[in-house]
């Protein structure tokens, strides 16, 4: 896009381009409160508890020929309470973490100096559009991919993009990229890409498409749930076989089999796991660490080495 370097875009042009290209930001997939709450039930053991809950609700009607007593639903009430408690604990912890991260993002919302209608103004970086003339100085964070028009002793730290901690010298016609930092000099640039069209935006899009790995505990819980399910089915089959052999009534056989199925399910296990992780999250919070997902805390205790791009991530970039 050709833009008058001395005048920059007009307000009407920038508004039209903002409407065309959208805000200069990376879209964040934020779960609705309902989805965040429902995601707490996505576990094999929880599925088994739901089956046990359904059986516990139906069983009294079978046992008392359609006229159950109120206290015969005690098992169902206990299982339902455990399911709800487990979901609330996980929901509250993850919601707090998401809100804390959202507040940090709002506090760190960057601004950029641009030239529009011949005047230099400072705008929120999310309002940058292709064709904007951006003025960069030492200490500025670059918020869009830009092509340099003029530069004087310009150096840019691209560690957030490439991992290279040494500053890179830049001259006219070179590119500077969103997410990098000006360490020295002065430059005037024209914005070439914003949002997901930037290099860092494309990387972020690839990362967002990566599926979250299953943790070891989740694998073990899933395996335990499948094992319990298989054992319950096996014992129910044995009971049906014995009942038929002993010429028992079908209703009586079903009652014994269903009672065994409900009693074999460890109702408190998911809640105990969630409570333990929630306690760990509270301890991490006291150490000024945010945990977005409870499952992420699981293997942290056995971590001995962290391999990370330290510059600007876990250091002060000095």
Residues known to be catalytic: 309
6-37 CB burial, b ≥16 within 10 A, e <16: eebbeeebbeebbeebeebbbeeeeeeeeebb
Token pair of 233, please? 């089915």
If you count them, how many residues does the chain have? 318
Say how far apart CA 278 and CA 176 lie, in whole Å: 43
In SS3 terms, the chain reads as CCCCCCCCECHHHHHHHHHHHCCCCCCCCCCCHHHHHHHHHCCHHHHHHHHHHHHHHHHHHHHCCCCCCHHHHHHHHHHHHHHHHHHHHHHHHHHHHHHHHHHHHHHCCCEEEEEECCEEEEEEHHHCCCCCEEEEECCCECCCEEEEEEEEEEEEECHHHHCCCCCEEECCCCEECCCCEEEEEEEEEEEEECHHHCHHHHHHHHHHCCCCCCCHHHHHHHHHHHHHHHHHHHHHHHHHHHHHHCCCCHHHHHHHHHHHHHHHCCCCHHHHHHHHHHHHHHHHHHCCCCCCCHHHHCCHHHCCCCCCCCCCCCCCCC
Residue in the structure block whose two tokens are 């860092």: 200
Write the burial class of residue 47 (CB in 10 Å: 0-12 exposed, 13-18 middle, 19+ buried).
middle
């Amino acid at each position: 896009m050709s833009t008058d370097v001395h005048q920059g875009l007009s307000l009407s042009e920038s508004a039209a381009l903002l409407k065309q290209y959208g805000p200069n930001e990376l879209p964040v997939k934020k779960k609705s409160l309902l989805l965040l709450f429902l995601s707490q039930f996505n576990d094999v053991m929880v599925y088994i508890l739901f089956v046990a809950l359904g059986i516990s609700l139906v069983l009294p009607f079978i046992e008392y020929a359609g006229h159950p007593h109120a206290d015969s639903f005690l098992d169902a009430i206990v299982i339902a309470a455990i399911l709800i408690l487990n979901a609330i604990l996980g929901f509250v912890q993850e919601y707090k973490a998401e809100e804390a991260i959202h507040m940090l993002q709002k506090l760190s919302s960057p601004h950029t100096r641009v030239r529009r209608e011949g005047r230099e103004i400072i705008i929120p970086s999310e309002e940058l559009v292709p064709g904007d003339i951006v003025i960069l100085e030492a200490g500025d964070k670059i918020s869009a991919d830009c092509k340099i028009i003029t530069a004087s002793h310009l150096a840019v730290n691209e560690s957030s993009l490439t991992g290279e901690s040494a500053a890179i010298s830049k001259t006219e016609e070179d590119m500077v990229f969103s997410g990098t930092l000006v360490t020295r000099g002065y430059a005037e640039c024209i914005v070439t890409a914003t949002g997901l069209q930037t290099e860092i935006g494309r990387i972020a899009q690839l990362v967002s498409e990566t599926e979250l790995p299953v943790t070891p505990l989740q694998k073990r819980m899933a395996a335990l749930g499948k094992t319990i399910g298989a054992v319950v089915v096996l014992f129910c089959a044995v009971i049906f076989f014995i009942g038929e052999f002993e010429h028992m009534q079908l209703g009586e056989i079903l009652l014994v089999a269903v009672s065994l199925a409900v009693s074999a399910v460890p109702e408190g296990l998911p809640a105990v796991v969630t409570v333990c992780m929630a306690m760990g999250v509270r301890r991490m919070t006291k150490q000024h660490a945010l945990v977005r997902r409870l499952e992420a805390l699981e293997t942290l205790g056995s971590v001995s080495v962290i391999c990370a791009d330290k510059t600007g991530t876990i250091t002060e970039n000095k």
